[in-house]
Amino acid sequence: MMLGIPDAVIQELGSELSFSQSELDELSTSVIEGCTNALEHGNHMKSEKPVRLSIDFERTRIEVTIFDNGPGFDFETIDFSKEPADLMQERGRGIYIMFTYCDELSFFRSDGSFAVKMVKKAKETSVENGN
Amino acid sequence: MKIKERERDGVMVLEVSGKIMGGPDSELFSTTLKSLVHEEKLRVLVDLGSVTWVNSTGLGILISGYSTLKRNNGEMKLVNVSDRIDSIFMVTKLYSVFDSFKTEDEAIASFAVE
């Protein structure tokens, strides 16, 4: 899994914008979670099925959409803010992490793809400091 | 992910580097810990200083390793946790599971007092 690539892209892009390192790390981690889900659950690790990323940005806002070829899941019935019931469970934290780290998180279906869209906004202190 | 092993004062220090993200990482970490358990080396300090990032699957790998040692009356602690990884421990509340230390000296000393 080449998850280092989206991480590097977000880190490089964000360093040119008005985001703090912690904000970039939070978005990067969220994008990695989104890509992991797309590869594992959406495309079932089939290499011939691509995962596509779309990144839109302005100085204080980055929007990342991740598309896979799977049917998706019943996202309308899931409470994203709910932590895993068992602290020791080994899986099931991805969406919770994305929800916690991002300012906006949504799922949708489009042209046979399933997608997750996440938005991260730079906080005012980051903008003032120009970090 | 790569793992380099060394022993210090009766504690096995695992210097992990790269990314902890599942796939082969899971097998490598699990095999390493099972081998240590087999050799009755049950005090394990995982140095995350050279780990770039951990995803949720990687968290599962660490939890699994912790549980393996716990089941065998051993212990797994962490050292040199970056701000990025510390943040994910905070968000997932796993900071309450893993004992984490800033320096190796502190971590090694914590094994000795138990």
What interface predicted TM-score (ipTM) does this complex get?
0.87
From the CA of A109, how many Å to the nearest CA of chain B?
24
List the single residue in B23, B64, B91 with the smallest CB-CB distance to A97.
Answer: B91
Residue of chain B with shortest Cα separation from A85? B92
The three-class DSSP label of residue B112 is helix
CA torsion sign for A75, A79, A81, A84 is negative
Q: Do A97 and B56 lie within an 8 Å CB cutoff?
A: yes
Least confident of A20-29, A39-48, B36-45: A39-48
Which residue of chain A is at minimal alpha-carbon distance from B18?
A4
Cβ neighbours around B113 below 10 Å, total: 5
Burial class (CB in 10 A: 0-12, 13-18, 19+), A5: exposed
So what's the pLDDT on residue A130?
A: 47
pLDDT digits (tens, 9 = 90+) for B44-71: 999 999 999 999 999 999 999 999 999 9
Q: Tell which wins on pLDDT, B3 or A88.
A: B3
Q: Is the pLDDT of residue A34 over 50?
A: yes
Out of A49-58, A79-88, A104-113, A121-130, pick the least confident: A121-130
Q: Which residues of chain B are within 8 Å of residue A87 when distances are taken between CB atoms? A: 93-94, 96-97
- Say what the pLDDT of residue B109 is: 96
Q: Does the beta-carbon distance from B22 to A36 stay under 8 Å?
A: yes
User: What is the model's pLDDT at position A119?
Assistant: 98
Chain-chain contact of B52 with A90 (C-beta, under 8 angstroms): no
Q: In Å, what is the CA distance from A112 to each residue of A67, A72, A102, B75?
A: 10, 10, 25, 48
Q: What's the pLDDT band for B90 if we cut at 50, 70, 90?
A: very high
In this prediction, residue A31 has a pLDDT band, given cuts at 50, 70 and 90, of: very high
Confidence band (pLDDT; 50, 70, 90) for A131? very low
Q: What is the 3-state secondary structure (H, E, C) of A23-63?
A: HHHHHHHHHHHHHHHHHHHHCCCCCCCCCEEEEEEECCEEE
Among candidates A22, A83, A93 on the partner chain, residue whose Cβ is nearest the Cβ of B83: A22
Residue A61: pLDDT above 70? Answer: yes
Tokens linked to B40: 């009755």
How close is the nearest chain A Cα to the Cα of B84, in Å?
6
Judged by a CB distance cut-off of 8 A, whether residue B35 touches chain A is no
Instruction: Specify the CATH architecture of the domain A4-129.
Output: 2-Layer Sandwich (3.30)
- Band (A44; pLDDT cuts 50, 70, 90): confident
- The predicted pLDDT at position A76 comes to 82
Residues of B in contact with A94 (CB under 8 A): 55-56
What is the torsional sign of CA A110, A112, A116, A118? negative
For the entire predicted model, the pTM comes to 0.90
Q: Find the helix packing angle between B56-71 and B83-92, rounded to 10°.
A: 70
B93: distance to nearest CA of chain A, Å? 8
Contact yes or no for B84 and A32 at CB 8 A:
no
Per the model's pLDDT, the better-predicted residue between B8 and A126 turns out to be B8
Split into its structural domains, chain B has a count of 1
Residue B19 above 90 pLDDT? yes
How close A58 comes to chain B (CA, Å)? 24
Work out the mean pLDDT of chain B and round it to a whole number: 94
What is the chain B residue with the closest CA to A21? B84
Residue A100 has pLDDT above 90, yes or no: yes
CATH number where B22 lies: 3.30.750.24
Q: Return the percentage of chain B with pLDDT > 70, whole number.
A: 98
Q: What is the predicted pLDDT for the residue at B114? A: 60
Give mean pLDDT, residues A10-32. 94
Q: Which residues on A lie below 8 Å from B23 (Cβ)?
A: 1
